[in-house]
Amino acid sequence: MGFWSWGVVTLQNECPGNTLAYSSISFFYSPTVNDCPFFPLQIDYTGTEPSSPCNKCLNVSWDSSPPCTCTINFTLEHSFESNVFMYYGLSNFYQNHRRYVKSRDDSQLNGDNASLLNPSKECEPYRTNEDKPIAPCGAIANSMFNDTLELYRIDNDTRTPITLIKKGIAWWTDKNVKFRNPTGDGNLTALFQGTTKPVNWPKPVYMLDSEPDNNGFINEDFIVWMRTAALPTFRKLYRLIERKNNLQPTLQAGKYSLDIAYNYPVHSFDGRKRMILSTISWMGGKNPFLGIAYITVGSICFFLGVVLLIIHHKYGNRNTSADIPN
Amino acid sequence: MDCSLLRTLVSRYCAGEENWVDSRTIYVGHREPPPGTEAYIPQRFPDNRIVSSKYTFWNFIPKNLFEQFRRIANFYFLIIFLVQLIIDTPTSPVTSGLPLLFVITVTAIKQGYEDWLRHKADNAMNQCPVHFIQHGKLVRKQSRKLRVGDIVMVKEDEPFPCDLIFLSSNREDGTCFVTTASLDGESSHKTYYAVQDTKAFRNEQEIDALHATIECEQPQPDLYKFVGRINVYHDRNEPTARPLGSENLLLRGATLKNTEKIFGVAIYTGMETKMALNYQAKSQKRSAVEKSMNVFLIVYLCILISKALINTVLKYVWQSEPFRDEPWYNQKTEPERKRNLFLQAFTDFLAFMVLFNYIIPVSMYVTVEMQKFLGSYFLTWDEEMFDEDTGEGPLVNTSDLNEELGQIEYVFTDKTGTLTENNMEFVECCIEGHVYVPHVICNGQILHNCTGIDMIDSSPGGSGKEREELFFRALCLCHTVQVKDDDSVDGLKKNQLSRRSCIYISSSPDEVALVEGIQRLGYTYLRLKDNFMEILNRENNLEKFELLEVLSFDSVRRRMSVIVKSSAGDIFLFCKGADSSIFPRVKEGKIDQIRSRVERNAVEGLRTLCVAYKKLTAEEYSKAQKLLQNAKLALQDREKKLAEAYEKIERDFILLGATAVEDRLQEKAADTIEALQKAGIKVWVLTGDKMETAAATCYACKLFRRNTQILELTTKKIEEQSLHDVLFDLSKTVLRHNGSLTRDTFSGLSTDMQDYGLIIDGAALSLIMKPRQDGSSANYRELFLEICRNCSAVLCCRMAPLQKAQIVKLIKLSKEHPITLAIGDGANDVSMILEAHVGIGIIGKEGRQAARNSDYAIPKFKHLKKMLLVHGHFYYVRISELVQYFFYKNVCFIFPQFLYQFFCGFSQQTLYDTAYLTLYNISFTSLPILLYGLMEQHVSADTLKREPSLYRDVAKNALLRWRAFIYWTFLGVFDAVVFFFGAYFLFDNTILTSNGQLMTTSTHMMFGNWTFGTLVFTVLVFTVTLKLALDTHYWTWINHFMIWGSLVFYIIFSLLWGGIIWPFLNYQRMYYVFMQMLSSGPAWLGIILLITVSLLPDVLKKVLCRQLWPTATERIQNASRHCREHISEFTPLACLKSPRYRSSDCSNSPARRSNSHSKKMMFTHWKGVDYSVLPSVFGYSNKHCRSSAGYHYGGSGLETSV
C-alpha cells in the first residue's frame, strides 16, 4: 500500500488533473510549449529545419567570429511560480564515451602545479598544443559548451532581459574542493603562465569570467561541463532564475524570446540542442517515471497480495497437513 | 651346451611357462650362481620405498602450477590477466591479478601441506626397521633399504616388508600361518609352505649359505596368482629346480601369525609389491557440483564471448559513420588512427571480454574453497559423530567433496569390520527344539555347568538328555579347528586350570565361535593328538575319539562331516552344515521345530548351522571307507567321484539341533542401512568373505528382508548353466516384474513390490567383465548392470580388492553416472575407496590404511547416516545455493554494464567505478554468502535425520539442474534490466536533482555518469544482499551481523570513498557522488522502488511454488515453522522440544529390529504422553501447537511407513 500512496503523492506533484494524458506525452519531447505549468518547457534551437531562425547558423565552426546569433520567440502559457532552472540540452553527444570520459586530468583541475605544466597522458591528443601544455587539458574541457543563451520577456514589443544567475549551478564540493585554481602569487594570468588554451576555445581558461571567484578552473559553467553525463542525451544546468518577491511569479505567462549566440556545432554528429526551463518541487525535479512506476508497482503488489491471500486460504491448510506423497 | 640343455630341461619341467615374455631373475642373497651356468646380469629393481606423495621439493612449483592452471577457471583468469597487461583495457590488471594470485597461493599452500603430510606418512612407513641377513648375521635396517634378493627375517605378528618367497620357518613342516586381513579382508589364518629344498635351514648361517636363483614373472596385481621357479645350487652339482606358486609367496601387507619366525627372500619390493599394485594412484576427485560448476562456467564463457562479439560487431557497425567514430569533440590520437582495423577490432573484442569478465568471478572459487575448507570443520566438530570408545571423531582428508556427500546414489560397503564388528559369537543352540542360550560371562568367570544354560523350554527328558550330550560332542568333534600349540606340552594342564588360555585357530571364524561357545556350555575341545581328538566333558573327564575320516567342507555341499570312533568303540558320523543341505538328508528328529527356529534365526541375521549324526556299524563304516578310498585314488574326475561318495555316505541322518552364531553387527548398522535405503540410496555389500557368511550379515543388517527374492549369480550356478543363460534368465525374472513399474521407484521399499537381492561372487564377476573373443563383452556388462539396477540390494562376495574397485568403476561409468560412495576399514578396501566418488574409511582397530587413503574417515559405520543425510544434505544445499547465487549476483552486476555499452557508443566505458568493480565480489557481497554457505540449515538437523526421504529432494544434483540454473540466470538478467532501465528512466526522463531544502544550499545540481553507475550499484548491492536474506532459513546473530553489516559497510565505504580527495589516485571521479545522490529525494524513492521490483518475481515464485507445488522439504519447513511460531511464544515449550527428540531416538534404538509400523505407533505414543505431561497453563495457544505438532508427527509417521 505504501507504494501506492507514494505514487499518488509524486504524481500529484507533477500535474494534477490530466495525469494520464500527460504521462503519455511525457515520453515524447515536444518542442512546443506544454499546457501543464509544471512540465518543463523545451525549445529546440538546433536549426535543422529550414524554417527555424537558427538554420543559418547550422554549419558554424568554432572559430567563427563574430558569433552567429539567432532569436527564437516562444509563448509561456502558464507562469512559473517558484525558482526556475534554465538548462541546455544536447542529444547524440557521447559524453560517456570511454575515450572522452578519461580524457581529463583531475590533479591539474585540483590546482596541482606539476600537473598544470605536465598534464596526464590520458589527455592525449588534447594534452599539448605547439609544445605547450594545455590547461585544462583533455577532450572534455576542449569541447566545452560555449553557446550563450539570453532570455527576454516581450511585453508590448519591449524586451526586458531576465536576470540569469550563473553562480550556484555546480556542486558546492566541486567548486570548493575538487576544482581549484593553481596556487601561487599573482593573478590568474600569471598562474597559468606557460600553458596554452584548449584548441577549440576562443580564449584561455583564466578569461572565462570577469569575477575572480568564477574564473579559471572554478568557473561554474566549466565545472558543470566537466561532470560527464551518463547518457548521450543529457541536459546541464545553465542558469538560475530566482523569484524576486512573493507577489510576482518568477516567469509570468506571456511572450518570451531566446537569444542565442550560436557557437557550438552539433550538426556534424547529428546532435540537437535544446533550452529547457523548469522548476522543482520539494521532491526534486519533475519525475513522471517515478510516479507511474510507484502506481504500477503498488497496484501489482496489491493485486498479487489478494491473489496470494486467496491461494493461501485455499491451499495453505493442505500443506501443513503434510500428506507427503510417495 | 650345458646351458641350453638346462633350459630345455627346466622348461619341460615347468610346462607351459616358456612363453614368459617378462621374467626376472633374482639371486638369493645377492650371490652369483656358479660360473658357467648363466651369465650374471644384475637387474635393477626399485628399492622398497613406498611413495604415495605427489610432489617432490623440486617439482612442486611447476607441477602444482600446471595442475592448477589445468583448472578451466584458473586458466581463464590467467588469460584475462594477461590480456589486461597487454592491451589498453577499461579496468586495471590489478583487479583480476590480485585475486588470482591469492587463489593460486592459497591452493598451492593447501596442497603443499597435504603432500607434506603424505611425505611424513611415507617416511614413517619406509623407515620402520626390518631384520635381514648379511654375511650370516642378522642386521636391522630401515625398510626402504631393502632390495630384491635380500634375505629377510620376520617375527611373529610382524607384517611382511615386501613380497617374499618363503624359504623356511621355525616349524618343522616348513609352514607358517598368515593373516591377510589388511589385504583381502579375510581375518582367518592361511597356511603357506616353504620351498621344499630350503625348509630345513633354521638359522642365519644356514640360510646365508643358500645358493640359489629365483626366476619369476614380473609383478602383477593379482593377489592369488604367482608363477616362478627356484634353482638351488648344491656344490658343483646340477641345480635343482622347483616350481614356485602362490603358496610360497608371502605378500606385503599380510602379517605373520602363530609362527615364531620365518626367513624369506625379497622378490618384489616397494611400488612393485602386489599390495602396492593393488593400490590405485590417488587421483584428484572432483565433485559433481564442481563438474556442473564447470559446465555453468562454460555456459557463461559462451555468454561472455557472445556478449563481447555482439558488442564488437555493433561497435563497428555504429562507428561506420565517421562522425560517430571520431566526432570533433572526441578525437583519436595519431597512433590510434593508424592502427590496423582488424587488430583494432581484435583488441576491442578483448577489451569487451575484460570488461565483462566479472561474470565469471574469481571470488567464487575463493569462496567455494573457503566454504569447503571451513565447512569441513562442522563435520569434525560434530559431537554426535564422536566415538567415546576410541576417542576419535570424524576426519576430513579432502574437503573438496563435502557436497558430494549429499548426492550419493550407491553405497558400496565392506562387510568385515565395517558392517560387522568382526567377532563371531555363539548365540544359541537349539537341541530337539529346546533353545539353549549360554550365559557369556558372569563376574569374569565362565560358568560351565548346567546353571550356565538357559533352558527356555522345559528340561528335556531322558532321550533328550542323550541327544543333548551327542549334540555337544558333535560340535566338539565336527570341525577343523586347530589349537594353538605354543605350549603344547603343558597345554592340557593349562586348559584345566583356566579354559580361556587355549587359542583356537581355524580358517572359518564360525568354527572357532562354535567351539568356544561349546566350551562355555561345558565341553572343551583340547587337541588332536595322534589322530585322537580329546575333549573334556562337563564332569571334567577326558574323552578320546579316534578321528577316522574328515569329509571336508565345500561350498557346493555346504556341509562337512567327520567319522569318529568313541573309546567305547561306537562309530559316529557327525555332520554339520547349512540347513538346506542337512534337512533333505534327515530321516528322524524334530525337523519342524528346528526348521522354524533356524528360519527365525536366519532372518535375524544369525549364521545358522544344523547338526546331525548317524551311528555307523562296522560294516557300514568299512563300506564308506572303501568308497572314499576309491574316490580319493581316482585319477580322473576325482572331485566328482568324491562328491558322489560323500553323497552316498551323508544320508539318513538323525537331526540333533541347530546352532546360531552372530557376527555382531556394528552398532545401529541395520538402522543406518534402512535409513540410507529410505533416502533412495542403493547399498551394495562388497566382501572378500564367503557367500553364506556375507548373506547372513546382509539379512542381519536388513539389506535383505524376509520377502527379498534372492538371485544368485555364482560360480556354482555358472557351472550348471552357461553364463549367458544365467544372465538372461535373471534379467528375465527381474524385468518381468519391474517392467510395469516406473523407474523412479528405485528404492524398492514399498512392500507390495517384489524385492530382489542379487548375490554375485568374484569369479562370476570376472567372467562378466572379461572381454570375449567376439568382443561382445559390453553386452554382458549391460545385462548385468540392468539386473543390478532392478535389484534393491546387491551382495558381492569373494571379491579381490581390485575387483571391488572394478565393481565401483562399473557402476560409476554406467550410463546414469551415479555418484558412488565406498566405505571400508581395511587395506583391502583402499582401492575401492580410491575408485569411488567419495571414499570413506572407518577408523578401525587394526590399521589406518583405509582411513588414511579415504576422503573422510569416521569412527563407526553408524555415523554414515548423519554424515550423508544431515551433513551431506546441508553441504549440498549450501554449495548449490552458493554457486547459483554467485552466478546470479554477477549477472546482476555485469549485465547493466553490457546494456550501458549501447548508450556509450560501445566504447567499453565502465558503468561502475574501479573500486566498486574490485570490491563488489571481494567485500560488499562476499561475506553473507560465505556465511550462508557455512551456516544454512534449511530444515533442522534433527528433521533431516528423522526423515531420510528428504535426501531424495536433492538427489541427482537437483538444485543445480538446468532448470534451476536458467531460472537463476533469468532472474539475474531481469534484475539487471530493472536496475539499468530504472536508473535510465530516472536519468533520462527527469532531471535527477538534489533537493534544495534538504541541502540548505538552494542549488539544483546535475548528476553525471558516475552517479548513474553508483545508483545502479547501490540498488544492485541491496538487491542481491536482500535476495540472500530472503533465501536464508537459518538466522543466527552472525547472519544478521553479516547481512546488515555488509550493507552498512557498503554505505560507509561509499561515504568514505567519495568523502575525500584521495591523494594517490589520479582521478577523483567519485568525489561526493554518493553523498549527492543520497541527498536527492527521487534517488531514494528510485532505489527503494527498484529494489522492490527486482525482488518481486523471486518472492512471487517462492510463494507460489511453496503453496501450489511444495516439495517434501518445503512441507516439512512449513510444518515446523508452524509449530515454531506457536512454540516460540512460550520458551518453556521450546526448551522441551529438543530433549524430546532425543528421547525418541532412545526409544527407537532398542527396537531397531521392529518394523516401521511399530515406529509409527511410537511416534503417536509419545506424542500423547508428551503433551499430557505439559500442564495446561498455556491455554489456547498450547492447544494450537498441539494440533500443528500433530500434523507434523503424523507426517513423520507416514514417512517411516513408506
Report the complex ipTM.
0.88
On the question of pLDDT at B169 being above 70, the answer is yes
B503 touches chain A (CB under 8 A): no
Q: Is B1009 close to A283, i.e. CB distance below 8 A?
A: no
Nearest CA in chain A to B1102: A308
Mean pLDDT, range B1183-1187, rounded to an integer:
38
CA B215 vs CA B2, B174, B241, B246, B267: distances in Å:
18, 21, 10, 14, 9
* Inter-axis angle of helices B60-70 and B72-86, nearest 10: 100
Pick among A227, A235, A282 to test the B interface (most B CBs inside 10 A): A227
Q: Which among B1088, B1027, B1078 is positioned nearest to A298, based on CA atoms?
A: B1088
For B359-391, how does the pLDDT look when each residue is reduced to its tens digit (9 = 90+)? 887 778 878 888 988 898 888 888 888 888 778
Closest Cα in chain A, distance from residue B335 (Å): 10
Q: Which residues of chain A have pLDDT under 70?
A: 1-39, 62-64, 280-288, 316-326
* Residue numbers belonging to the annotated binding site of B for ATP: 414-416, 511, 553, 576, 607, 687-689, 798, 804, 828-829
Q: Which of B492-496, B646-650, B1125-1129 is predicted most confidently?
A: B646-650
CA dist B638 and B631 (Å) reads: 6
Mean pLDDT, range B270-298, rounded to an integer:
78
On the question of pLDDT at B974 being above 90, the answer is yes
On the question of pLDDT at B1131 being above 50, the answer is no
In a 3-state reduction of DSSP, which class is residue B1123? Answer: helix
Within 10 A of B546 (CB to CB), how many other CB atoms are there?
15
CA dist B368 and B71 (Å) reads: 14
Grade residue B933 by pLDDT with cuts at 50, 70 and 90. very high
Catalytic pick from B150, B414, B510, B953? B414
CA dist B525 and B175 (Å) reads: 24
CA dist A152 and B630 (Å) reads: 137
The closest CB to that of B907, out of A98, A122, A280, belongs to A98
Residue B525, pLDDT score? 84
CA dist A102 and B92 (Å) reads: 13
Share of chain B above pLDDT 90, in %: 14
Enter the C-alpha cell of residue B638: 576325482
Enter the C-alpha cell of residue B959: 538444485
Nearest CA in chain A to B1191: A321
Q: Residues of A123-137 as b/e, b for ≥16 C-beta within 10 angstroms?
A: bbbbbbbeeebbbbb
* Residue numbers belonging to the annotated binding site of B: 414-416, 511, 553, 576, 607, 687-689, 798, 804, 825, 828-829
Mean pLDDT, range B790-818, rounded to an integer:
85
A-facing residues of B in 1099-1158 (CB < 8 A) are 1100, 1103-1104, 1106-1108, 1110, 1112, 1114-1116, 1118-1119, 1122
Give a three-class secondary structure readout of B845-868: CCCCHHHHHCCEEECCCCHHHHHH
> For residue B865, what are the contacts with CB-CB under 8 A and spacing of at least 6?
B668, B671, B672, B675, B676, B945, B948
Closest Cα in chain A, distance from residue B1016 (Å): 12
Give a three-class secondary structure readout of B619-684: HHHHHHHHHHHHHHHCCCCHHHHHHHHHHHHCCCEEEEEEEEEEEEECCCHHHHHHHHHHCCCEEE
Q: Which of B462-466, B1047-1051, B1163-1167 has the lowest mean pLDDT?
A: B1163-1167
On the question of pLDDT at B175 being above 70, the answer is yes
In a 3-state reduction of DSSP, which class is residue B207? Answer: helix
Residue B33, pLDDT score? 66
Which residues in A lie closer than 8 A to residue B1092 (C-beta atoms)?
3, 297, 301
Residue B537, pLDDT score? 81
Question: Would you say B241 and B231 are in contact if contact means Cβ atoms under 8 Å apart?
Answer: yes
Q: Is B1004 close to A177, i.e. CB distance below 8 A?
A: no
Closest Cα in chain B, distance from residue A137 (Å): 13
To which residue does cell 494520464 refer? Answer: A20
Nearest CA in chain A to B1007: A229
DSSP character at residue B706: T
The closest CB to that of A284, out of B1067, B1082, B1089, belongs to B1082
Nearest CA in chain A to B1080: A284
CA dist B921 and B885 (Å) reads: 12
Q: Which of A215-224, B16-25, B642-651, B699-708 is predicted most confidently?
A: A215-224
On the question of pLDDT at B1142 being above 60, the answer is no
Enter the C-alpha cell of residue B232: 638351488
Closest Cα in chain A, distance from residue B753 (Å): 14
For B496-531, how does the pLDDT look when each residue is reduced to its tens digit (9 = 90+)? 444 445 677 776 777 888 888 888 777 888 877 777
Q: Is A171 close to B1072, i.e. CB distance below 8 A?
A: yes
Grade residue B455 by pLDDT with cuts at 50, 70 and 90. very low
> Which secondary-structure segment (H or E) carries A74?
strand A68-76
The closest CB to that of A173, out of B334, B1071, B1100, belongs to B1071
Question: Would you say B201 and B167 are in contact if contact means Cβ atoms under 8 Å apart?
Answer: yes
Q: Is B984 close to A231, i.e. CB distance below 8 A?
A: yes
Question: Would you say B579 and B658 are in contact if contact means Cβ atoms under 8 Å apart?
Answer: yes
Residue A51, pLDDT score? 87
Q: Which among B419, B423, B451, B424 is positioned nearest to B437, based on CA atoms?
A: B451
A-facing residues of B in 105-164 (CB < 8 A) are none
For A157-169, how does the pLDDT look when each residue is reduced to its tens digit (9 = 90+)? 889 999 999 888 8
pTM: 0.77
Enter the C-alpha cell of residue B181: 586381513
B-facing residues of A in 228-287 (CB < 8 A) are 228-233, 235-237, 240, 265, 268-270, 278, 280, 282-287
Backbone angles phi, psi at B1162, to 5 degrees: -65, -40
Mean pLDDT, range B954-960, rounded to an integer:
86
Q: What is the mean pLDDT of chain B?
A: 77
The DSSP string of B1029-1093 is: HHH-----HHHHHHHHHHHHHHHHHHHHHHHS--TT-S--TTTTHHHHHHT-HHHHHHHHHHHHH
Q: Where are the beta strands (DSSP E) in B304-407?
A: 395-396
Mean pLDDT, range B678-699, rounded to an integer:
84
On the question of pLDDT at B1171 being above 70, the answer is no
The closest CB to that of A297, out of B1089, B1104, B1118, belongs to B1089
To which residue does cell 578519461 refer? Answer: A102
Residue B312, pLDDT score? 94
B-facing residues of A in 26-65 (CB < 8 A) are 26-27, 40
Pick among A94, A110, A178, A266 to test the B interface (most B CBs inside 10 A): A94
* Inter-axis angle of helices B1081-1108 and B1009-1031, nearest 10: 30
The closest CB to that of B993, out of A126, A285, A293, belongs to A285
Question: Would you say B171 and B192 are in contact if contact means Cβ atoms under 8 Å apart?
Answer: no
Sheet hosting strand A234-241, strand order edge to edge: A41-44, A272-279, A84-91, A234-241
Closest Cα in chain B, distance from residue A177 (Å): 8
| A vs B: CB pairs below 8 A | 247
CA dist B30 and B40 (Å) reads: 11
Mean pLDDT, range B222-239, rounded to an integer:
77
Q: Is A106 close to B991, i.e. CB distance below 8 A?
A: no
Q: Is B1092 close to A304, i.e. CB distance below 8 A?
A: no
Enter the C-alpha cell of residue B33: 650362481
Which residues in A lie closer than 8 A to residue B1002 (C-beta atoms)?
83, 168
Which residues in B lie closer than 8 A to residue A277 (C-beta atoms)?
none
Q: Is A169 close to B330, i.e. CB distance below 8 A?
A: no
Q: Is B414 a catalytic residue?
A: yes
For B824-872, how does the pLDDT look when each residue is reduced to its tens digit (9 = 90+)? 887 778 888 888 899 998 886 656 677 877 889 898 888 999 999 999 9
Q: Which among B108, B150, B118, B470 is positioned nearest to B279, based on CA atoms?
A: B118
In a 3-state reduction of DSSP, which class is residue A133? Answer: strand
Residue B967, pLDDT score? 94
Within 10 A of B406 (CB to CB), how many other CB atoms are there?
30
